[in-house]
Every structure is written in C-alpha cells, then in structure tokens.
Amino acid sequence: MAEHRLFRRRSPPAAAGAFRLLFEAAPEGMALLDPEGRIRMANPALGRLVGPTVALRPGLPAVQLVALPQRQALAARIAAAGMPEAAPLLVVPADSAAPEDTEWALHCEALPALDGDGPALLLRVTDRTPQRRAEARLAGAARLETVGRLAGGIAHDFNNLLAAILGSAEAMRAAGLPAAAAAELGRIEDAAQRGAGLVRQLLAFARQQRLQPRILDLNAAVSGLAPLLRRLLGEGVQLDLALEVPGRCVRVDPAQLDQVILNLAVNAREAMPGGGRLRIATGRAVVLRLEGEGPAGLPPGRYAVLEVSDTGCGIPPETLPRLFEPFFTTRPDKGGTGLGLATVQGIVAQSGGHITVESRPGEGSTFRIHLPRQEAVTAPVAPAPATPLAGSGGGRILLVEDEAPLRRLAALLLQRAGHEVLAAESAEAALGLLADSPPPDALVSDVAMPGQDGLELARDLRSRWPGLPVVLLSGYAESALGHDPEGEGMRFLHKPYAPAELLAALASVLRPASAAAA
C-alpha cells in the first residue's frame, strides 16, 4: 500500500533503510508521528485497520484515528510519549463501519531522529478484537457453567417436589375416586409432568440432560400448548392459530418444542405492552438449493415450518445481528437474562433445524423455524394402568430416601406391590438397620443425601454382599453425578418417576439376581 508511505530518501543510511523495511512489513499497525502528533508515515497494516472511512494521509492528526470521546486521552498519551508507559491505551476506532466490539491497544514511544526528519514518535496499534471476543466467550462459558450448577441444584429440589405430587396423585387414584375427581387429578398429573419436562429443558440448556427427541405432529403440539399460551399472554393479546392441514411431523424433544414456543410467546408479549395479536402458523417448504451462507445456511430438504408473528414494536436493526447471542438482552432493567433466544436457537439447531427473524421497528416481528419433516408418527405408548401395579413382589427391599414424603410414598408403593420394606432416612440409618440382619434382596436409594450418598452406600453394601441389586434415584441428571452407575451394574431412575417406572426398574434388577440364584 504505497499510498501510506511518505518520503523516500535517495540514499537512506543502512539503519534507516532497515527500519523502513521492518516498518512496512510489521503485522501490527504503525505510524511515525511528529512531536505535535501528526502522521508522517504509516504502514499498510495500519491502513487496513483504520478502514476506508478514514483518509490516512501525511499531516493527519493521529487523534482522528480514534472515536471522539477518546481523542483527549490519546493526545495526552502522545504528549507524554517520552515518559515510561504503564499500560496500553484501549480505544475504539473512528471508523463508524467497524463492528461494535472492535477495540485497539495503542502504544506511543519516542524515537531518535531518522535521516534528518527530526524527533519522531512511534504509534503502534494492535487490534484486540479477537482477544476481546475470546475473553467474552470464556466469560460466557463460565457464566453457563455457573448457570448449569445452579440449574442442577434447583432441578434436584424441584424434581423431588414433582415426585411427591405425582406419587400422591397415584396413591389417590389407586384408592378410588369419582369420575369428576379423577379428571381433576389427571390435570394435576399433567401439569406436574409438564413441569418435569421444563426442568429437563433447563438441564439440557445447561448440558446436564440427555435429549429425548421423538416424532410428533407439529399441529397437535401447537394446539396442545394453546390453552397455556392464552393464559400466559393475558386478555390484551389475541392468539391466532393458522395450522396447515394436513399437519406435518417433526422429530424433536416435546419439552424442547414447548420451550421454543413459550420463549417466543413471552418475548412477543413483552413487545406488545398495549395489547396486540400473536399468530402461530404451521406450513411446509421444499428447499432446492442452499439458502444463506456458511453454517447458518438452510440446506436443501423438505421442511415443516413454524412461524410465530406478533404486532409489537419490532426489533431495531442494530439489535438483529446479536439477537441470538447468549446473555445479550435489551431488557436488563426488567430482569432479562439473554438466555431465552439463545436457548431457542440451540434447541432448533440440535433438532437439525434453522431459525430466522424478520422485523422492522413499529411493524412487529416474525420468527420462522424450519424443522426437517418426518413421514410418520410413532404410535403413542399406552400409559401403564394405575392399578393393579405390576411388580415382582415378595422381595425384602432396603429403601433409603431423605425426603420424608417421598420415602413414605415409595414405601407404600413397594408394599402394595408385595415387597417387605426397610425404610431409612439416611445411609447411616440404613447401615444401622442391617447391623444384625440378613442381606436385603435389593437396595432402592436416593443419591444426594446428607452424609454418605446413595452411590457410596451401594458400594459399601456390595462389598459385603457382591451382586446386590441396586436402583438409584436422583433429581439430578445422570451426567451430573460424576459417575456412571449403570456401568457398575446399577439401575438409575430420574425423578420424578411414575410408580410403574419404579416397579419396572426394581423388577429389572431383581430378575438377573433371581436367575443367577437359580
């Protein structure tokens, strides 16, 4: 870039010539300044940094390279160039077209006279933008790790509550209820199961939960969520459904799909404080060639399309490029975390789909989701009958659970299935029960307990009675335990569990033991 060079001497001394060669080839931006801070000579790297909107020319005051609020600081640094420099000056470039997160580090130092030009200052400009972005990613990863740990703890306690609700509901159903009361109980159970699904989504976002995708009808999923959406939106926002018939099938985790729609609906409600209309539509699309560029492009294929549109205030153009960034929020004063849309994009991407947004200020927003189409819906699994409860009764079961309501409900369930139950509130209490007792036929234990945890208890008991059947229960995700219980021949059951699931898990570990004894 010869336009950024100034004077060429006919016969430069060797030192000056070597300096100019290094100056021109330097990878960081450099400029030679006169004592007043005006540019004498600039290298090509600086020309690339300042961009086309700043005319880099001899005599240009160096302070004009940076944004207006920081020019005084740069002038002071230039004036003090002969003094020891404590730290680089961090500035934003004057180029208005530069990305918002662009940052330069400036160093200014005095040089001896070069070839009769008089004293000079060397201004070095380093682009810190890649480093700054890497630091932001690391900070975001640390925040995600913190969120993950917090989510795991909350999910454990919440899953214990849901397990107690579902267990109590099952006990009431088994006792016999009038039809109207049974229907109301079903709604309680449905709400608890939906809550469990949302907890799974929270853990999936924190990467502590295995995803559970299955093939489902997109229209049916939207219709099933509509009553909850109407309550969520309130009276001021009208919900319109435009579901294309026949409906299309997609393969996705049902709880994740609920989370996508709920997050978009909440954002739409916030964008319509004075009321408006939320429209959810389904359709189909055939993409014949790649749409878009890079990893964000939509590849060719057959898609089911889900559109969520609102008549709200719209999204400013400067916000659109950052809309799906984790922890980016336009509502920090209202408790916005910046996780909602980042979660939506992650769910869609994990499901093999693609999401785009169209919006103009004052004209509302439309989020359009493409999900790969599936041709068939798997047959629904019939729910296990409430009574009679299946189980291989007759065993002597050691039940260890520190939550009293869950311990009582699990003991009642196992006794109704024909088992003898030794119930304990801790590992230490369980060892006390077995002090002068024959070995149990199986151990059913919570994992997270005060004192010794369930996994340690199971290992201790197996050291005394090798091959003891074990079922471990936990409100934490299996991946958060730090161990692989199933790799040690133990069955893991995630809370909240249905009564039939606990009996089936227990039966699955008792059968191999019975076969070995035979």
**Residues shown for the chain:** 518
Q: Among 3.40.50.2300, 3.10.310.30, 3.40.190.10, 3.90.550.10, what is the CATH number of 396-517?
A: 3.40.50.2300
> Is residue 465 within 8 Å of residue 482, measured between CB atoms?
no
Amino acid (one-letter) located at 495: K
Cβ-proximal residues to 411 (8 Å cutoff; 6+ apart), any chain: 399, 421, 423
In this predicted structure, what is the pLDDT of residue 188?
81
In this predicted structure, what is the pLDDT of residue 516?
56
Give me the residues of the chain with pLDDT under 50, please: 1-11, 294, 335-337, 378-392
In this predicted structure, what is the pLDDT of residue 387?
37
> Is residue 164 within 8 Å of residue 406, measured between CB atoms?
yes
In this predicted structure, what is the pLDDT of residue 165?
80
Joined together, the tokens standing for residue 376 give 């068939």
Burial code of 459-486, b = ≥16 C-beta within 10 A, e = fewer?
eebbeeeeebbbbbbbbbbbebbeeebe
Q: In what order do the strands lie in the sheet with 470-474?
A: 420-424, 396-400, 442-446, 470-474, 491-494
Under CATH, to which class is 214-381 assigned?
alpha beta
In this predicted structure, what is the pLDDT of residue 7?
38
In this predicted structure, what is the pLDDT of residue 398?
94
Q: What is the DSSP letter of 127?
A: E
Helix axis angle, 254-271 relative to 340-350, nearest 10°?
150
The 10s digit of each residue's pLDDT in 348-371 is 887 888 998 998 888 899 999 999
In this predicted structure, what is the pLDDT of residue 160?
74
In this predicted structure, what is the pLDDT of residue 367?
94
CATH topology for 2-127?
Beta-Lactamase (3.30.450)
Cβ-proximal residues to 501 (8 Å cutoff; 6+ apart), any chain: 493
Degrees to nearest 5, angle at CA 508 with 503 and 510: 90
| Other C-beta atoms lying within 10 Å of the C-beta of residue 67 | 15
In this predicted structure, what is the pLDDT of residue 55?
81
The model's pTM: 0.44
Domain edges within the chain: 2-127, 214-381, 396-517
